[in-house]
Amino acid sequence: MNRKYRKTIIAGNWKMNLLPSEVKGYGEKLKCLAPKVKWCEIVICPPSLMLQAALKTFSNARIHVGAQNICTEAKGAYTGEISAAQVKDLGAKYVIVGHSERRQYYGETDKQVNLKVNIAIENGLIPIICLGETLEQREMGITLDHIRLQLKIALSGVPADKIRKVVIAYEPVWAIGTGKTATSEEAGEVCKEIRAQLRSLYGARIARSISILYGGSMNGDNAAELLAQPDIDGGLIGGASLDPEKFYSIILAANQ
Ligand code: PGA
């Protein structure tokens, strides 16, 4: 973390978990814990049909809300999709883009990720852009090449005056939901490379202002070590975000 230049962010990705009727109870528990948090921005990304309930629960609590996905298109005949403008209009601040589960199970391509990044920014949402290599790619030694390519395509068309409005999340696919975490050195090395590429695309001042999160089995036990890496500015948390106390233990590590 480097708070001098960038925000520390702890974001919970609920994925397809919890029920609309459970949002309030979760929120009450987290709100009781979170007032002590000064140094990090807390974000909750619930399923889209719970966005409104989450926004209501977390209003006035300095806990921000984000969607887990948006459509590549602005509006129109796209049954089942939700638009960036709709998410923004509800009052959400963030949207996760290019999560590996969307890439893996729904065939989301780098090109679609790029369209979503741009449409999110155009509509005033902050995209949390997910990048990550598979185990096969790591074993082949092409992790950094793969991440560089994913990042370059994701940011295509994003001008320098808008790039401060993005957050990057490095999420090794093999670490998501598996209980296997990248070592802090492995995660730190990739996040350092992401920043180096941001520097070559947008210059040093901009690169040092962008928050880069780590995601993949982050929990209260490993968070402090991961966050001690200079280029890791927070976490994108799946499993451990479903329980407010477990989530809070990560927030505490980030608030040190
Ligand atoms: P996990 O998920 O914390 O359950 O590994 C992280 C993510 O997919 O964002």
CA–CA distances in Å: residue 170 to residues 104, 191, 213, 225: 16, 7, 6, 16
Query: Does position 38 have pLDDT exceeding 70, yes or no?
Result: yes
Q: Report, as an integer, the average pLDDT of 131-154.
A: 96
Residues 168-223: tens digit of each pLDDT = 999 999 888 787 788 999 999 999 999 999 999 999 999 999 999 999 999 999 99
* The ligand 1 atom nearest the CA atom of 100: 8
179 CA from centroid of ligand 1 (Å): 9
* The ligand 1 atom nearest the CA atom of 178: 5
* The ligand 1 atom nearest the CA atom of 15: 8
What confidence tier does 35 reach under pLDDT thresholds 50, 70, 90? low
- Which tokens belong to 89? 């209009």
64 CA from centroid of ligand 1 (Å): 18
Pocket of ligand 1 (CB under 6 A): 13, 171, 176-177, 215-218, 236-240
Which residue has its alpha carbon closest to ligand 1 atom 6?
238
Which residue has its alpha carbon closest to ligand 1 atom 7?
238
* The ligand 1 atom nearest the CA atom of 239: 4
What domains lie within the chain, and their CATH numbers? 9-254 (3.20.20.70)
Which residue has its alpha carbon closest to ligand 1 atom 3?
238
17, 180, 236: residue to mutate for ligand 1 pocket, most atoms within 8 A of CB = 236
Separation between Cα atoms, residue 198 and residue 236, nearest integer Å = 20
Separation between Cα atoms, residue 145 and residue 151, nearest integer Å = 10
127 CA from centroid of ligand 1 (Å): 17
pLDDT of residue 34: 75
Which residue did the predictor score with more confidence, 227 or 180?
227
Q: Where are the beta strands (DSSP E) in the chain?
A: 8-13, 40-45, 63-67, 94-97, 126-131, 167-170, 212-215, 234-237
Separation between Cα atoms, residue 168 and residue 212, nearest integer Å = 5
**C-beta neighbour count of 144 within 10 angstroms:** 17
Which residue has its alpha carbon closest to ligand 1 atom 1?
238
What confidence tier does 60 reach under pLDDT thresholds 50, 70, 90? confident
Q: Which residues are catalytic?
A: 99, 171
Half-sphere exposure at residue 28, Cβ-oriented, CA atoms within 13 angstroms: 4
Q: Report, as an integer, the average pLDDT of 70-90.
A: 98
DSSP-derived secondary structure letter, 7:
-
